[in-house]
Amino acid sequence: MAKIFCIANQKGGVGKTTTTVNLAAGLARVGQRVLMIDLDPQGNATMGSGVDKREAELTVYDVLLESASVAEARIRPEKLVEAGAAYDVLAANRELAGAEVEMVALDRREKRLRTALAGVGAEYDFILIDCPPSLSLLTLNGLCAAHGVIVPMQCEYFALEGLTDLVNTIKQVHANLNKNLQIIGLLRVMFDPRITLQQQVSEQLKAHFGDKVFDTVIPRNVRLAEAPSYGLPGVVFDPSARGSQAFVAFAEELVKKMPPASAFAQPAPPVVAPPAVMPATAPAASGVSDENSL
């Protein structure tokens, strides 16, 4: 059965969609069978995977309202097949914004995605869910369907506040709706080692969360930012770029670290929240290290 992970963070602009599409492409590159689900009505993960959201006949909207199955709605983008990094896409578009209103009166409204994925779980090694930044019924469907959450975050203090909010949300879902839900790990993204503050926050994350912080670090890289305008993940757009290579390395780390999907069937331990304040050494916090400190 597939390992189902949400890519989530309640703070916007931290690279959730970039992480989702590039991790999906990276996993495909290392031989994994992957389904990428776009749960954001903006459809950025859909467009970034080579699918025109305006032309998708069936989307995750149809799956949530049970007018189509995952097998009927999924798409295998030709661009990705040609690049040797093919994964399936369950697309989203603006129509998905109306799904929340329509689902309010329905039975099992928070577990509709979980039910839909049961029919295709054996066909994949990983299912990645790109969640919107807000805590909505769509995000709740993702969290109820998932075994765990991968949290992309920048090493900045506002990002730490967003992490606290997300951990509290995961604790509530774990307690009431999905006993298997856990934090799989924190992924440091858009990382610039020259900035002292980012180094400090990175060290504090490792001190508090230990092995829940992935070893791989995704650097700030312009090629990853350029790739969506070509309708491709960075891993496909420019495989030689530092950011692309880092995502392939992250995919390899994830495959190596993760136990079989059956291991996630047992209730996960409660999520531990980060400290309310993670102090910095203020004098150097906003500075940039010199070359000798890199």
Instruction: Kindly report which listed range (131-145, 153-167, 188-202, 214-228) carries the lowest average pLDDT score.
Output: 153-167
pLDDT tens digit sequence for 36-71: 999 999 999 999 999 999 999 999 999 999 999 999
pLDDT for 251 equals: 98
Nearest CA among 123, 184, 192, 188 for reference residue 160:
188
Kindly state the helix (H) or strand (E) to which residue 5 belongs, with its residue range.
Answer: strand 3-7
pLDDT for 11 equals: 76
Is residue 294 predicted with pLDDT exceeding 50?
A: no
d(CA 80, CA 60): 20
CB 56 within 8 A of CB 75: yes
Is 104 or 28 the better-scoring residue by pLDDT? 28
pLDDT for 275 equals: 54
Q: Region of 56 please: left (phi>0), alpha (psi -120 to 50) or beta.
A: beta
pLDDT for 217 equals: 95
Residue 136 corresponds to which tokens in the numbers above?
A: 């909505």
Residues in Cβ contact with 20 at an 8 Å cutoff, skipping those fewer than 6 apart: 7, 36, 45, 128, 129, 130
Mean pLDDT of 258-263: 84
Residues in Cβ contact with 134 at an 8 Å cutoff, skipping those fewer than 6 apart: 10
pLDDT for 155 equals: 87
Question: What rounded mean pLDDT belongs to the chain?
Answer: 88
Please report the domains of the chain, with CATH numbers, ordered by start residue: 3-293 (3.40.50.300)
- For the chain, what percent of residues have pLDDT higher than 70? 91
What SS3 class is residue 134? Answer: coil
Longest alpha-carbon distance in the chain: 61
What count of residues does the chain have? 294
pLDDT for 101 equals: 86
Nearest CA among 25, 98, 88, 89 for reference residue 61:
98
CB 60 within 8 A of CB 47: no
d(CA 131, CA 153): 14
Is residue 290 predicted with pLDDT exceeding 50?
A: no
- What amino acid is encoded at 286 in this protein? S
Compute CA distances 131 → 120, 150, 209, whole Å.
20, 11, 23
Strands 3-7 and 148-153: parallel
Strands 3-7 and 213-219: unpaired
Residue 1 corresponds to which tokens in the numbers above?
A: 């059965």
Is 258 or 265 the better-scoring residue by pLDDT? 258
Please report which confidence band the pLDDT of residue 288 belongs to, taking 50, 70 and 90 as the band edges: very low
Q: Rounded to the nearest 10 degrees, what angle do helices 157-176 and 196-209 cross at?
A: 30
